[in-house]
């Protein structure tokens, strides 16, 4: 008998019919003799709907109350799944994060898990019950409800798998696994069988929205193999595992695109020590998350600095910077939301030269202008015009993955 943690995402429990389907799958596993801990997300788009409701009440909700509100979504879905299992004569019990002792830090809406109590869960497993735990939530040391950041049910699942030393951690979603590119954009995209934590993390942070980034970080840190698969089929999905030698044979594991960033340009920045520090300190203190940065070292007295931020941070960032423009002596700040970041990711590029050249050439030959570039050991990202993004993803997928060279 093994202990399996299964997590079902919002789309897998989007309504009563789907909840019943999940219950049937859970029961099948139970019948095979497995001990099961099930983590569920809120039904469908419930979390977005709750957020929208809060917006209709206030423009600046308290973070504590936001967590109080958002956590209700998962509380509803665990209860419904338990009822659906009871209906199938399968013994099950649902719990909130607080009830099973998921302790977090105090950062409302993006709390980190500090520790997980397993006593209550183990007691119920011993009674041969399926234990259902609300994803995405915990409590801080003061006993207040916190949430773990959007997509946080993945983190709940990984943390429970770790705390319970589970034999498997399965993430059920509405796609068959992780793909080499978004199959809606690229027809030749295919399912990846095995991917390293690091590659998955780079893909997730550059636009592939299959699992929450932090959950992948935690899985990697504790070496918990994660199986991402579809709740609508029985096929094997994608295993996210520790990197091994065989992975180096593949140059590029996947191509991703992120359309949720905007590019800001600070113009005529005086060319003297301390200015960049002040600009980015101002943004950091204002809670703005900066991604790519480029600065042209001018031969002149001033230069431009461009960087990208999440779109939702763009306007606040412009405001923050305009406030210090006079004092710091730069001219202005402009922003462009019509950009996209395309990235190629693969551990194979550690040991192969020429990936950057191949990427830039493929884009260049096809008339796609590169506005910014950033690299890590296993990723190369380019900012391009948003209208070029889909074409760029297809080209790069052809160039590096499906193998057929793009037409000139
Ligand atoms: N329901 C939460 C969200 O939509 C958590 C999750 O789905 O994992 O972000
Ligand atoms: Mg959700």
pLDDT, one tens digit per residue, over 91-105 is 999 999 999 999 999
Residues 188 and 28 sit within 8 Å (Cβ to Cβ): no
DSSP string, 180-218: SS-TTT-TT--B-SEEEHHHHHHHHHTT--SS-HHHHHH
User: Relative to the CA of 48, which ligand 1 atom is closest?
Assistant: 4
Q: Say yes or no to pLDDT of 337 above 70.
A: yes
Pocket residue to mutate for ligand 1, from 6, 41, 48, most atoms within 8 A of Cβ: 41
**Which among 278, 129, 139, 147 has a CA at the least distance from the CA of 212?**
147
Counted domains in the chain: 1
User: Which ligand is the nearest neighbour of the Cα of 70?
Assistant: 1
Q: Say yes or no to pLDDT of 340 above 50.
A: yes
Residues at CB less than 6 angstroms from ligand 1: 9-10, 41-42, 47, 73, 135-136, 150-154
Is pLDDT larger for residue 297 or for residue 302?
Answer: 302
Ligand 2 center to 213 CA (angstroms)? 14
User: Relative to the CA of 74, which ligand 1 atom is closest?
Assistant: 1
Q: Say yes or no to pLDDT of 300 above 80.
A: no
Pocket residue to mutate for ligand 1, from 152, 157, 210, most atoms within 8 A of Cβ: 152
Q: Say yes or no to pLDDT of 405 above 80.
A: no
The CATH number for 89's domain is: 3.40.1160.10
**Confidence category of residue 366, pLDDT binned at 50, 70, 90:** very high
User: Which ligand is the nearest neighbour of the Cα of 73?
Assistant: 1
- 50-104 per-position pLDDT tens digit: 999 999 999 999 999 999 999 999 999 999 999 999 999 999 999 999 999 999 9
Ligand 1 center to 25 CA (angstroms)? 21
Q: Say yes or no to pLDDT of 370 above 80.
A: yes
Evaluate whether residue 122 is within a structural domain: yes
Evaluate whether residue 121 is within a structural domain: yes
Ligand 1 center to 228 CA (angstroms)? 16
Evaluate whether residue 232 is within a structural domain: no
Residues 405 and 399 sit within 8 Å (Cβ to Cβ): yes
**Confidence category of residue 257, pLDDT binned at 50, 70, 90:** very high
Residues 253 and 199 sit within 8 Å (Cβ to Cβ): yes
| The pLDDT value given to residue 296 | 78
Q: What whole-number percentage of the chain has pLDDT above 70?
A: 99
Evaluate whether residue 87 is within a structural domain: yes
Q: Which residues surround ligand 2, an ion (CB under 5 A)?
A: 10, 41, 47
Please report the sign of the dihedral spanned by the C-alpha atoms of residue 366, residue 368, residue 372, residue 376. negative
**Which among 122, 255, 130, 252 has a CA at the least distance from the CA of 186?**
255
- Mean pLDDT along residues 135-139: 98
User: Relative to the CA of 156, which ligand 1 atom is closest?
Assistant: 8
- Mean pLDDT along residues 398-408: 71
Pocket residue to mutate for ligand 1, from 97, 113, 151, 159, most atoms within 8 A of Cβ: 151
- Mean pLDDT along residues 254-264: 96
Evaluate whether residue 300 is within a structural domain: no
**Confidence category of residue 205, pLDDT binned at 50, 70, 90:** confident
**Kind and range of the H or E run holding 246:** none
- 140-158 per-position pLDDT tens digit: 999 999 999 999 999 999 9
Ligand 2 center to 377 CA (angstroms)? 31
How far apart CA 280 and CA 320 sit, in angstroms, is 10
Is pLDDT larger for residue 354 or for residue 405?
Answer: 354
| β 3-8/168-173 pair status | parallel
Nearest CA to ligand 1 atom 5: 151
Ligand 1 center to 153 CA (angstroms)? 6
Q: Say yes or no to pLDDT of 38 above 70.
A: yes
Q: Say yes or no to pLDDT of 408 above 60.
A: no
Q: Say yes or no to pLDDT of 218 above 50.
A: yes
Pocket residue to mutate for ligand 1, from 10, 14, 67, 214, most atoms within 8 A of Cβ: 10
Ligand 1 center to 110 CA (angstroms)? 12
Domain that holds residue 132: 3-174
Ligand 1 center to 354 CA (angstroms)? 39
**Confidence category of residue 407, pLDDT binned at 50, 70, 90:** very low
Average pLDDT, the chain: 94
Ligand 2 center to 41 CA (angstroms)? 6
Pocket residue to mutate for ligand 1, from 6, 9, 40, 47, most atoms within 8 A of Cβ: 47
Is pLDDT larger for residue 353 or for residue 24?
Answer: 24
Token pair in block for residue 49: 């709907």
Evaluate whether residue 184 is within a structural domain: no
How far apart CA 105 and CA 119 sit, in angstroms, is 20
- Mean pLDDT along residues 184-205: 94
How far apart CA 174 and CA 152 sit, in angstroms, is 17
User: Relative to the CA of 151, which ligand 1 atom is closest?
Assistant: 8
| The pLDDT value given to residue 406 | 42
Evaluate whether residue 303 is within a structural domain: no
Nearest CA to ligand 1 atom 9: 150
Q: Say yes or no to pLDDT of 137 above 50.
A: yes
Nearest CA to ligand 1 atom 6: 151
Evaluate whether residue 82 is within a structural domain: yes
Ligand 2 center to 151 CA (angstroms)? 6
Q: Say yes or no to pLDDT of 376 above 50.
A: yes
- Mean pLDDT along residues 115-129: 97
Ligand 1 center to 44 CA (angstroms)? 9
Is pLDDT larger for residue 75 or for residue 273?
Answer: 75
User: Which ligand is the nearest neighbour of the Cα of 75?
Assistant: 1
């Amino acid at each position: 008998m093994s202990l399996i943690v299964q997590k079902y995402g919002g789309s897998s429990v989007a309504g009563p019919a789907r909840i019943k389907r999940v219950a049937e799958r859970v029961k099948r596993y139970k019948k095979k003799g497995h001990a099961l801990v099930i983590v569920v997300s809120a039904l469908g788009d419930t979390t977005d709907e709750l957020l929208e409701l809060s917006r209709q009440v206030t423009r600046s909700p308290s973070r504590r109350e936001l967590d109080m509100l958002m956590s209700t979504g998962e509380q509803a879905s665990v209860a419904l799944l338990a009822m659906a299992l009871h209906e199938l004569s399968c013994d099950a019990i649902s719990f909130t994060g607080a009830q099973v002792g998921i302790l977090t830090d105090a950062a409302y809406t993006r709390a980190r898990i500090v520790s997980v109590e397993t006593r209550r869960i183990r007691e119920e497993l011993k009674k041969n019950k399926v234990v259902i735990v609300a994803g995405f939530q915990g409590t801080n040391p003061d006993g207040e409800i916190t949430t773990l950041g959007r997509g946080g049910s993945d983190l709940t699942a990984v943390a429970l798998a770790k705390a319970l030393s589970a034999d498997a951690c399965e993430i059920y979603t509405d796609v068959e696994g992780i793909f080499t590119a978004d199959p809606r954009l690229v027809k030749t995209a295919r399912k990846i069988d095995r991917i390293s934590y690091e590659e998955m993390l780079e893909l997730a942070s550059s636009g592939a929205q299959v699992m929450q980034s932090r959950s992948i970080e935690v899985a990697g840190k504790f070496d918990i193999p994660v199986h991402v698969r579809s709740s609508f089929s029985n096929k094997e999905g994608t295993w996210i595992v520790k990197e091994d030698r065989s992975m180096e044979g593949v140059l590029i594991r996947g191509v991703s695109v992120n359309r949720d960033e905007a590019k800001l340009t600070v113009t005529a920045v005086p060319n003297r020590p301390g200015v960049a520090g002040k600009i980015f300190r101002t943004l950091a203190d204002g809670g703005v998350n900066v991604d790519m940065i480029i600065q042209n070292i001018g031969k002149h007295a001033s230069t431009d600095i461009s960087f990208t931020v999440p779109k939702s941070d763009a306007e606040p960032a412009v405001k923050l910077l305009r406030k210090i423009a006079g004092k710091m002596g730069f001219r202005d700040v402009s922003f462009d939301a019509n950009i996209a970041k395309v990235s190629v990711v693969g551990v194979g590029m550690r040991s192969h030269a020429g990936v950057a050249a191949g990427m830039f050439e493929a884009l260049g030959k096809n008339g796609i202008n590169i506005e910014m570039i950033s690299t890590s050991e296993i990723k190369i990202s380019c900012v391009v015009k948003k209208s070029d993004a889909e074409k760029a993803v297809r080209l790069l997928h052809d160039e590096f993955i499906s193998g057929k060279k793009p037409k000139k």
